[in-house]
Structure 1
Amino acid sequence: MKLVVQVKLLPTPDEAAALEATLGACNTAASDVAVMAREIGCYRNYDLRRHAYHGIKDDYGLGAQAAQHVIKKVADVYKTLAGNLKAGNYGKPGSKRRRKVETNPIMFRWDAAQPYDARMLSWRHDARVVSIWTVQGRLKQVAFTGSPDQIKAVETHPVGESDLVHRDGMWFLYATVEVDEPQVYEPDGFLGVDMGIANIAYDSDDTRYAGTKLNGYRRRQQRLRKRLQEKDTKSAKRLLARRRRKETRHTANINHTIAKSIVTEAARTGRGIAVEKLTGIRDRVRLRKPQRVTLHSWAFQQLGAFLVYKARRAGVPLVQVDPRYTSQTCAACGYRDKRNRPNQETFICRSCGVVAHADHNAARNIASRGVVSWGAVNRPHAA
């Protein structure tokens, strides 16, 4: 399986200037190619090369590989845009926002990430430096650093394509490495995981990952952003710029911690993991207005993605199940009634009288559906 490893570059001022010029040239070329693609209606990578390759290579001083990556980057962005349009993420056909996206060409920031392949980037792990192509020539002694795990990953595993990234005045390489994926074992049952807002996650073992502190933290950050935006001074804008990724990093750290804990418990007990399908969660969940900001700002998809890749790395089976009615169905007797859940926390079965935490009951239903789903796929002819 493929993992993305972040390492930090430590360029000298002259090397940093060369890297900056490289990103500027590549992204200016990408913006020009995007305009050309929109004008001629050509969006496929190989077709677009016939129209753009020689022009951007000569006009911007790009190498052959860099020019091809620029064109592929444009084609990939338009492909993503087409997928978002098809999914309705830019509004209904004919809406103002959708018309703007459909008619205007895509433009790239000067410091948007630029892909590098093995011909443009090589690693010297003994000296901990990289040799990297730039528009001002090849830089052969750019130092890099990272955590012990990151350094070990790029040293011991094959490195594929990497992205050169400039962020907050620092330079990074996001390297794709190929790691061995363990064989998935036959699970002895499933650990169900219910995701929510009051509780970020609640599993079928009655372990709760409460969201009270995190939601309070996010509300404080929201109030602080509002005050700084209203102040509208240079110092306030600088503080906003410094804090813009703080909440994102905090959320990602919590998601990593929760996902690791769930995968570790499943592996320890020889079970698989069953989670609800998160596709369309924002459309099917109905909430009061004060709760909508929390719903739309919480990274459900990120937590689900962390569970998937951590489970794959550990060889833990993971299935996604239909979450409909899991909060209304009794995990003990199977009776379903929306009145079984009188409030957010409580589940009281109107048939058998079972009383439980609503999220725990839902997690148990998800675990049961995980068993059925796994059996249907992996043992379809079992008696």
Structure 2
Amino acid sequence: MKLVVRVKLLPTPTQAAALEATLHACNEAATWAAQVAFDADVRRPLDLRKHTYTEIKERWKLGAQAAQHSIKKTCDAYTTLNANLRNGRYGRPGTKRHTRAAGKPITFRPEAAQPYDDRMLSWQHEQRTVSIWTTAGRMKNVAFAGQEEQLAVLAAHRRGESDLAYQNGIWYLIATCEIPEQPLNTDPVGFLGVDLGIVNIAATSDGTRHSGRSINRRREKDRALRSKLQKKGTKSAKRRAKKYAGREARRNKDINHKISKRIVAEAERTGRGIALEDLGGIRERVRLRKPQRTTLHSWPFHQLGTFLTYKAKRAGVPVVYVDAACTSQECSQCHHIDKANRPTQARFVCRSCGFVEHADHNSSHNIAHRGWIAWVRGAQSTAPALTLLT
């Protein structure tokens, strides 16, 4: 199982200047290679290397490995772009957005992340330093820092490439780690159903609710402040708006990490699996009034589901996704489905058998039931291939 560990670099001013010059050179070279790939219609690394490798080394003074990584980064970017075009992310062929995305070469920001392999980067875990290649030569004794748990994972399980990144004035190394998985529990005693929502971020079939009311009030205040700053339009206002947006994203991620950790721990303790709704396409399916749209589209449901599945995989807890249709309208006792079963957002009253329950808990019972049926029928536990450990 792959995890990504991000550690903070602590370079001196001289070291930081060398790292900045290196990123700029690598990204300038990648942007030029992307133009060549676009003009010559060459998108494979080996073919593009024949057109660009020698000039990149001579023109930008990059080492052999750095030049190859810049070329491969260009090809990977075109592969991602083509996949997004095929999947309709830029609209249908012929639309302005689709034509604009497909009709120009890719460009890279001057400080876009650059991959490093073990020939270009070495770690000294005991000293908490790295030796890293730059355009000014090999730079040694660059300090790094991070949480003890992350650093232990990094020292024991790092494999493959690491990315040098510069974000909001801070230097990072983002390393890929191969984590051994716990044996999957192939004989769960049942499933813990998890209903994801907005008023309650997550409600489980055990009766636990992770309320989102105070969080949503805080997010509404943040959105109002960002809207005010955006209307002001000055440079300082834009900087502040960006700062508040980043703060909200970090807060959401922290909340999702805590909720997913508790749910997985409970499932592992009781020997159960976890059942989740398949919410793919929910943003397109759901029709809401305008004031509600921002709340729906801004909360990272997919991130919470991803955190649940990768933490479950580490713990050997099986996870299944079930059809989300009518889980909120179906009675968990008699399975009668009726829109009138849910007279309010929080209240469920079955029109057939009279069963009364909190609406989110009723949904979570239905999800748990569907999860067990799916498991019996042979559904496989799934988890994301790559997740950021922060």
User: What amino acid maps onto 2:85 in structure 1?
Assistant: L
Task: Give the 4+ runs in structure 1 shifted more than 4 A.
Answer: none
CA distance in 2, matches of 1:316, 1:27: 42
Secondary structure, aligned partner of 1:243 = helix
C-alpha deviation, 1:49, in angstroms: 2.1
Are the counterparts in 2 of residues 278 and 304 from structure 1 also a CA contact under 8 Å? no
CA distance in 2, matches of 1:378, 1:346: 31
- Counterpart position of 1:307: 308
User: What amino acid maps onto 2:64 in structure 1?
Assistant: A
Q: Does 1:123 align with 2:123?
A: yes
1:58-97 map, 5 Å: 58-97=58-97
Structure possessing the higher relative contact order (Cα contacts under 8 Å, 6 or more residues apart):
2
- Counterpart position of 1:165: 165
Secondary structure, aligned partner of 1:377 = coil
Unmatched 5+ residue regions in structure 1?
A: none
- Counterpart position of 2:384: none
1:84-163 map, 5 Å: 84-163=84-163
Instruction: Percent identity, please.
Output: 57
CA distance in 2, matches of 1:224, 1:266: 39
- Counterpart position of 1:203: 204
C-alpha deviation, 1:234, in angstroms: 4.2
CA distance in 1, matches of 2:371, 2:46: 43
Are the counterparts in 2 of residues 274 and 367 from structure 1 also a CA contact under 8 Å? yes
CA distance in 1, matches of 2:253, 2:364: 23
C-alpha deviation, 1:165, in angstroms: 0.7
Secondary structure, aligned partner of 1:181 = coil
1:327-342 map, 5 Å: 327-342=328-343
C-alpha deviation, 1:30, in angstroms: 1.1
C-alpha deviation, 1:235, in angstroms: 3.6
CA distance in 1, matches of 2:16, 2:263: 42
CA distance in 1, matches of 2:316, 2:168: 37
CA distance in 2, matches of 1:238, 1:297: 20
C-alpha deviation, 1:161, in angstroms: 1.2
Are the counterparts in 2 of residues 276 and 321 from structure 1 also a CA contact under 8 Å? yes
Q: Does 1:49 align with 2:74?
A: no
- Counterpart position of 1:251: 252
CA distance in 1, matches of 2:264, 2:17: 44
* CA shift in 2, pair 1:278/1:53, >3 Å: farther
Deviations 1:132-152 (A, max 9, x none): 011111112111111111221
C-alpha deviation, 1:328, in angstroms: 1.5
* CA shift in 2, pair 1:202/1:163, >3 Å: same
C-alpha deviation, 1:156, in angstroms: 2.0
C-alpha deviation, 1:282, in angstroms: 0.8
Deviations 1:263-321 (A, max 9, x none): 01111111000001121111122222111111111111111110111111111111111
C-alpha deviation, 1:241, in angstroms: 4.0
TM-score of the pair, normalised by structure 2: 0.93
CA distance in 2, matches of 1:378, 1:112: 40
Are the counterparts in 1 of residues 222 and 244 from structure 2 also a CA contact under 8 Å? no
C-alpha deviation, 1:215, in angstroms: 1.2
CA distance in 2, matches of 1:237, 1:324: 41
> Greater CA deviation, 209-218 or 239-248?
239-248
- Counterpart position of 1:40: 40
Secondary structure, aligned partner of 1:16 = helix
- CA RMSD in angstroms comes to 1.5
CA distance in 2, matches of 1:315, 1:135: 45
- Counterpart position of 2:284: 283
User: What amino acid maps onto 2:315 in structure 1?
Assistant: A
CA distance in 2, matches of 1:352, 1:52: 72
Deviations 1:15-37 (A, max 9, x none): 11110011001111111111122
> Greater CA deviation, 192-201 or 248-257?
192-201
Secondary structure, aligned partner of 2:166 = strand
- Counterpart position of 2:26: 26
> Greater CA deviation, 237-246 or 268-277?
237-246
Deviations 1:145-201 (A, max 9, x none): 111112211222233211101112211101111111110112110000111112111
Deviations 1:319-378 (A, max 9, x none): 111111111211111111222222322222121111112211111111111111111116
Are the counterparts in 1 of residues 260 and 307 from structure 2 also a CA contact under 8 Å? yes
Are the counterparts in 2 of residues 327 and 358 from structure 1 also a CA contact under 8 Å? yes
C-alpha deviation, 1:48, in angstroms: 2.1
Are the counterparts in 1 of residues 27 and 112 from structure 2 also a CA contact under 8 Å? yes
CA distance in 2, matches of 1:72, 1:322: 39
Are the counterparts in 2 of residues 164 and 172 from structure 1 also a CA contact under 8 Å? yes
User: What amino acid maps onto 1:109 in structure 2?
Assistant: R
> Greater CA deviation, 169-178 or 43-52?
43-52
Q: Does 1:355 align with 2:356?
A: yes
The aligned length equals 379
TM-score of the pair, normalised by structure 1: 0.95
Are the counterparts in 2 of residues 160 and 178 from structure 1 also a CA contact under 8 Å? no
User: What amino acid maps onto 2:303 in structure 1?
Assistant: Q
CA distance in 1, matches of 2:128, 2:203: 43
Secondary structure, aligned partner of 1:8 = strand
Are the counterparts in 1 of residues 348 and 359 from structure 2 also a CA contact under 8 Å? yes
Q: Does 1:320 align with 2:324?
A: no
Secondary structure, aligned partner of 2:311 = helix
User: What amino acid maps onto 2:69 in structure 1?
Assistant: H
> Greater CA deviation, 156-165 or 132-141?
156-165
CA distance in 2, matches of 1:234, 1:50: 44
Are the counterparts in 1 of residues 53 and 68 from structure 2 also a CA contact under 8 Å? yes
Deviations 1:242-278 (A, max 9, x none): 3331011001001101111110111111100000112
